[in-house]
Amino acid sequence: MRLVWECSTRGRTALVLGAAVLGGSLGACSGGEGTKVVPPPGNAAAPASPSPTPAVHPFTGGRTGLRNPVLAVKIENTRPAMPQHGVSAADIVYVEQVEGGETRLMAVYSSRLPGQVGPVRSARISDLHILPQFGRPAFAFSGVQGKMKKYVRRAPVYDISQENAGRAYYRRGPKQIPYNLYADPKVLLKQAPKAQGPRDIGFRFGPAPEGGRPTRSFTARWPAATMAFTWSAREKRWLSSWGGSPHTAAEGGRLGGRTVVVQYARTTRSRFHDFLGSYTPLIHTTGTGRAVVLRDGRAYDARWSRPAEDKGTTFTTADGKPMTFAPGQVWVVLVNDGKPRIP
């Protein structure tokens, strides 16, 4: 498995790629002026042999789509893009900070596919840190800035971006470019026939643990965006709001999940920036940290741990027991560990 991460050195950022495990490679990131960029080895290794079929889907705790390939899609999450298509069908929805303090979604599909997804937008460096835990999934996005292309090529993903899988993408509707690009997930996956199926990424499903605080609503904050999740006893899930307004799905109804994980992760400046000069945040999703897990109308203080980028993220309760999720869609909301900030 090839690992990708960044490390800071006296205000500068070096992107490191290598085949060593995370702990050993961090040595290349220590020290100040002597830090060097470790050159990557050759092309990505062939995917591992298929693992045995799990008893339940490791992303949802359900019993459907147990050997379906994994598809990740980048989706816009600002007002001009709404309502979004296909998010309600995702197994997992990641919310990531991008330039200017706004957010973007990465929807992960396996147990089922929607008819269309979008608006599809460009990838970010944090995606390449999150995705290795899925093995080698298919990754759909509209494009990346030129300096990042080589890192996408070396990442353990099947690149089915608009550049490589153009016939799966199309523009439709009244929204202006770039908010009108959509894709057909079935056609996308035809461009990645070897995309791996689901594997254990650390989630555990089952009855709610003891404890937790009765909670009606929780608001996650970024420098230029807010998302609230309000418990619906009738629907038995957390309903999403964006910027104080209901976060609706293009297919109808509200977006939201049975479980919402608010994961506090250190957010720093990457070496990449957009055409306006705004730097791209790098979300550090390996290591350990705190989290708040929302399920069944209660909030649980938890800890997250991910030892390396090819490993899953486990969540434990305050007393060290596994933090179980409610079966169904999971939202992983990544916020800075501290006050919202633009790095």
| The pLDDT value given to residue 3 | 41
User: What pTM was computed for the model?
Assistant: 0.86
Q: Where are the domains of the chain?
A: 1-43, 55-343
According to the model, what pLDDT value does residue 50 have? 56
How far is it, in rounded angstroms, from Cα 47 to Cα 194? 8
At 26 the pLDDT is 33
Q: Which of 236, 268, 287 is nearest to 8 (CA)?
A: 268
CATH of the domain spanning 55-343, picked from 3.40.980.10, 3.50.90.10, 3.40.50.2300, 3.40.50.740: 3.50.90.10
Is-contact 132 155, C-beta < 8 A? yes
pLDDT of residue 161: 98
In tens digits, the chain (343 residues) has pLDDT values of 434 444 333 333 333 333 333 333 333 333 332 323 223 333 444 444 556 677 899 999 999 999 999 999 999 999 999 999 999 999 999 999 999 999 999 999 999 999 999 999 999 999 999 999 999 999 999 999 899 999 999 999 999 999 999 899 999 999 999 999 999 999 999 999 999 999 999 999 999 999 999 999 999 999 999 999 999 999 999 999 999 999 999 999 999 999 999 999 999 999 988 777 789 999 999 999 999 999 999 999 999 999 999 999 999 999 999 999 999 999 999 999 999 999 9
The answer to whether the Cα torsion of 149, 151, 152, 154 is positive or negative is: positive
Backbone angles phi, psi at 107, to 5 degrees: -95, 130
DSSP 328: S
Q: How far apart are CA 102 and CA 88, in angstroms?
A: 21
pLDDT, position 277 = 77
Close Cβ partners of 284 (under 8 Å, ≥ 6 residues apart) = 129, 265, 266, 267, 268
- What is the residue-wise DSSP string for 221-236? EETTEEEEEEEETTTT
- Matching residue, tokens 């099947």: 158
Nearest C-alpha neighbor of 97 from the set 220, 200, 231, 187: 220
Encode burial over 304-320: b for 16+ CB neighbours within 10 A, e otherwise. Answer: bebebbbbbbbbbbeee
Contact 168, 183 (CB under 8 A): yes
The span from the CA of 229 to the CA of 121, in Å, is: 24
